[in-house]
Structure 1
Amino acid sequence: MKPIAVLGAGLAGLTAAAELKRRGLPAVVFEAGKAVGGMAASFKDAEGFSYDYGAHFISNRLAKALGAEDICRTVRHYGEAVRIDGRDRSHPFGLMAEPRFLASALKSRFASRPKTPAANAEDWMRRSYGDAMAEEVAMPLVEAWSGAPARELSSSVGEKFGNSIVKSLYLSAAAKVTRRAVCNGYTRTMPEGAGVYHVYPEGGLARMLEPTLRKLDGAVRLQSPVERILVDKGRVVAIRSAGVEIPVSAVISTAPVNVLPRLVEGTDALKPLAAFRYRPMMFVNLRFSGRAILPNTMVWVPDRSQLSFRLTEAPISMPWLAPEGKTLITFDIGCEVGDARWTMSDEDLARTCLDQICALYGEELRGRYLGAGGTIRTPISYPVYLGAYETERRLFSMSTGVDGLYSVGRNGEFAHILMEDVFWRTIRRMEDVARYVASPSEGSQPAVSLEERLAGLGLSAPGLSQPA
């Protein structure tokens, strides 16, 4: 059998290759970089402060599935707050204790609901949370995180949000009883319960992937970017890497979906994906003496005048990430590549973030400031669900439109999912790949017309470029 090419050696790519090998199928992982792990990366500076490439949440269930449970520490506490009007409210229940938010939410809940689906993200938030919370909390945060007005975003943004209030109450109570950071809204693929809680690997995130890498036994090719995915008559036939054409039976991509049209040669089926947008982000780390500067591990800041919309003090939950008596705060900053924020120097970013936290939590923090811990910039952080291409996005969620080409992972699926969802969804997707390579003549895509696929989504459009 010709090998199955896997593009990218992050969590999704390595999981896909290992699952294929378990099924007795040959897979080769092509990684453009010098190391595996992708965005599952951690850094430690000379002073002993550790920080991740963005926020990652790992459950004990995922650690066990990866064979890494023995190197993980249990996270005993995790919580979120929202900073409004100079005060911190716990999320979500402290918000609902605010009279104006509660009254607005109740009014929305008991109002006669429109029979038509929500027109956009703003409409969805107003229906779900009421006008007050939508305007003061949900919309500012979603707009900072996505870089687009809520009215231009699809109502599918609501898929990102977590459990029902009843389920959240149960999981919050379970966390207090078990004294563990029980997962609450971090996976949609698998059920959450009192026995599923956050952990963190000794030595950093990339260590989670070491057992999987050992299973692959040399099947990963580093510094080997795939230059082209070759398609003939609607079916993947080969890839080109380092100028060499390699016949393959299928391709599994973890690349951002808007890159695929440039990689695929021999079809225009993926052309609409070129319009899909990802939100660039910067993560600025500041070091301080003391601990518990923030009221909880994460604080959301729905104030459009502030530089950062999310502050995280990871050592509150994982004290080993900073030296004793010290702490690290990460500032999430939305931007666009090349804009005024993106081009700010690291020194100016650190100074502005220090000004922000001092304005929020007191000028005395300047005396506790120990300097910047580094800035991470990524041009691709979160998928942006613009309404302009919602039809194309939903079609892509069903299939790539090319036989033998599969797209997995957060970037590859263009989905608001975290690590556990990435893992289980990739495992399940490999069932489709196994069926396809066993009987390629049957095709990997739904044997239905475009019109039927649109109808199955409740859509009707004369062409892919037409919004539903």
Structure 2
Amino acid sequence: MSSLPQIAVLGAGPAGLMAAWELRRVGYPVVLIEAGNQVGGLSATHKFEGAEGSYRFDYGGHRFITRNPELLTFVEELMGDELLHSQRKSVIRFQGRTYQYPLAFGDLLKNAPLSLLAGASKDLLFQLPFTTPVQDRNNASFEQWIESRFGKTLYQHFFAGYTEKLWGINPSELSADWAAQRISLLDLKDVAKRLLPSRSGTPRTYARNYRYPKLGFGRIFERLAESLQAEGLDLLLNTAATGVRLEQGKIVAVKCKSKDAAEAEQEIPVGHVISTLPLPTMATFLGEQHQLKFRALRFFNMPMATENISDNTWQYLSDPDIMATRLQEPRRRSPFMSPPGQSSVMLEIPCFKGDQRWSMPDEELFPLVCNDLKRLGVDPALATGEFFSVRAEHAYPLLRVGYQQERQRLIERLNRVPNLTMTGRQGTFRYIFTDTAMEMGQLAARSLIEGQDRRAEIFDFRNEATVIETQSVA
């Protein structure tokens, strides 16, 4: 029996599973507690048995890209021949027009209305040369950041409506942090240069080639969990962490409850806790009030009686009056995501937990979705009549102007507990890619193994001035 203290890892998403992997490698006893009925968190894949066979749907548009050769090798060895090479093709849909993504010079000239081209040109010549780009990410808004770099015309056409639909708040209330982290192009002049036909390459935020498991992105984490259980991991699915018990300022037990209503709350003794639970949730466990919130997503999944909907991996839906922000066709990532001769679509619908779009029954949402598909040129008659939703309560940290101060206050409060390490996307209240979440989990475990307090480093891990989606080292 190990003399090492038992570690509780809360949440079996990418960060939690990688933390458990690192700990098990050196012999720590680990209990991994997951509220859902499967591993993977927001990177899970759901299987649906339809009349024509099996369909698979991810939580959104995942693909494996990384700058970390060690992590790439780990995933390749874990997955073996299950890992495919895939190529991404995306478009923007707006006001009945389709634009290539990233923008291309000839395509833009052919498709953009003259009013947009004229307005953007006017901004480029007469507004932006006399405007100082906003630099204060902590206090400026998304609206201010974008307008100071791209002008009023592009802001109104491509950013304002889509951003408000995605976040559920006016862009004047959204932190400039979101733009600074997610938009690699520097300004409208940079856009213009990249649109020139002689210019090669694509914006840094766009990775065309990536790795993808043939049976869905969640297979990476299913395989990882299988390996961990073979090594003695105690995995508790359908078990929600409900609190912690402290003695002399340290966590001595994690409180949890199985979703089996017959079972009472139990306490699991622990020596240390690595938590990927949402930062506000852990603050609540410690009796701390907070103002941080998350934006939710509802994924509406539909089998389709056709082999192909389009050749696009996904379509950005910029019209504010179309419910979804993205339309995806899973078989564009892997042909094994739907039965032969069949396809499927997934629509990402932003919402808040408990609002109308979150709560509406699938049967009521289905005709609304079909109306939107028709507007997008997808024949709703191709729908098989089978559909289901999955929901993600904590999809996006809501980055309101000034959120950094509240986040930092909660971090300082949680870091007073010496045997608590927060990590992962929700645990650090960050919008990060899957590979970064996996690295965060590794860092949390290694800091514990090495006896170093690296929690400050974890909270801001890979928090570059611009978080970029690079070409994979593959």
Structural mapping, 1:74-153, within 5 Å: 74-94=84-104, 98=112, 99-100=117-118, 102-103=120-121, 106-107=124-125, 110-113=129-132, 117=136, 119-153=140-174
Q: Do 1:9 and 1:220's aligned partners in 2 also have CA atoms closer than 8 Å?
A: no
- Report sequence identity in percent: 25
1:352-410 deviations in whole A, cap 9, x for unaligned?
Answer: 11111212216xx1443332332223322221111253312245568832322122222
Q: Do 1:2 and 1:247's aligned partners in 2 also have CA atoms closer than 8 Å?
A: no
1:169-218 deviations in whole A, cap 9, x for unaligned?
Answer: 99xx9xx99xxxx99637xxxxx8x9xx4222233333312443324523
Deviation of residue 133 (structure 1)? 1.9
1:311 aligns with one of 327, 333, 348: 327
Look up the SS of the partner of 1:59 in the other structure.
coil
* Corresponding position of 2:347: 331
Q: Do 1:41 and 1:205's aligned partners in 2 also have CA atoms closer than 8 Å?
A: yes
Distance 1:31 1:360, change over 3 A: closer
Distance 1:85 1:383, change over 3 A: same
Tell me how far apart the structure 1 counterparts of residues 386 and 180 of structure 2 sit (CA, whole Å): 35
Tell me how far apart the structure 2 counterparts of residues 446 and 418 of structure 1 sit (CA, whole Å): 19
Look up the SS of the partner of 1:134 in the other structure.
helix
**One-letter amino acid of the structure 2 residue matched with residue 14 of structure 1:** L
Deviation of residue 45 (structure 1)? 2.0
1:64 matched to 2:73: yes
Distance 1:215 1:309, change over 3 A: closer
Look up the SS of the partner of 1:50 in the other structure.
strand
Look up the SS of the partner of 1:76 in the other structure.
strand
Tell me how far apart the structure 2 counterparts of residues 41 and 314 of structure 1 sit (CA, whole Å): 11
**One-letter amino acid of the structure 2 residue matched with residue 378 of structure 1:** A
**Bigger Cα displacement from structure 2, 204-213 vs 323-332:** 204-213
Q: Do 2:134 and 2:148's aligned partners in 1 also have CA atoms closer than 8 Å?
A: no
1:252 matched to 2:258: no
User: What are structure 1's unaligned runs of at least 5 residues?
Assistant: 187-191, 448-452, 454-468
Look up the SS of the partner of 1:113 in the other structure.
coil
Deviation of residue 54 (structure 1)? 2.8
1:254-312 deviations in whole A, cap 9, x for unaligned?
Answer: 11222113323xxx5x433xx21111221112333335534622111221112222111
The TM-score with structure 2 as length reference comes to 0.77
* Corresponding position of 1:45: 49
Distance 1:74 1:159, change over 3 A: farther
**One-letter amino acid of the structure 2 residue matched with residue 65 of structure 1:** F
Tell me how far apart the structure 2 counterparts of residues 123 and 394 of structure 1 sit (CA, whole Å): 23
Deviation of residue 156 (structure 1)? 1.0
Distance 1:85 1:220, change over 3 A: same
1:283 matched to 2:307: no
1:412-455 deviations in whole A, cap 9, x for unaligned?
Answer: 222111211211222223333334xx37xxx66669xxxxx9xx
Look up the SS of the partner of 1:342 in the other structure.
helix
Q: Do 1:8 and 1:254's aligned partners in 2 also have CA atoms closer than 8 Å?
A: yes
1:32 matched to 2:51: no
Tell me how far apart the structure 2 counterparts of residues 115 and 54 of structure 1 sit (CA, whole Å): 31
* Corresponding position of 2:212: 200
1:54-95 deviations in whole A, cap 9, x for unaligned?
Answer: 332223865632333314342432122111231100122148
1:30-56 deviations in whole A, cap 9, x for unaligned?
Answer: 233444333313213232332123332
Q: Do 1:29 and 1:219's aligned partners in 2 also have CA atoms closer than 8 Å?
A: yes
Deviation of residue 15 (structure 1)? 0.6
Distance 1:104 1:258, change over 3 A: farther
The TM-score with structure 1 as length reference comes to 0.78
Q: Do 2:131 and 2:148's aligned partners in 1 also have CA atoms closer than 8 Å?
A: no
* Corresponding position of 2:261: none
- Root-mean-square deviation (Å): 3.5
**One-letter amino acid of the structure 2 residue matched with residue 400 of structure 1:** L
Tell me how far apart the structure 2 counterparts of residues 7 and 344 of structure 1 sit (CA, whole Å): 30
Q: Do 1:41 and 1:53's aligned partners in 2 also have CA atoms closer than 8 Å?
A: yes
* Corresponding position of 1:219: 233
Look up the SS of the partner of 1:279 in the other structure.
strand
Higher RCO (CA-CA < 8 Å; seq separation 6+): 2
**Bigger Cα displacement from structure 2, 7-16 vs 38-47:** 38-47
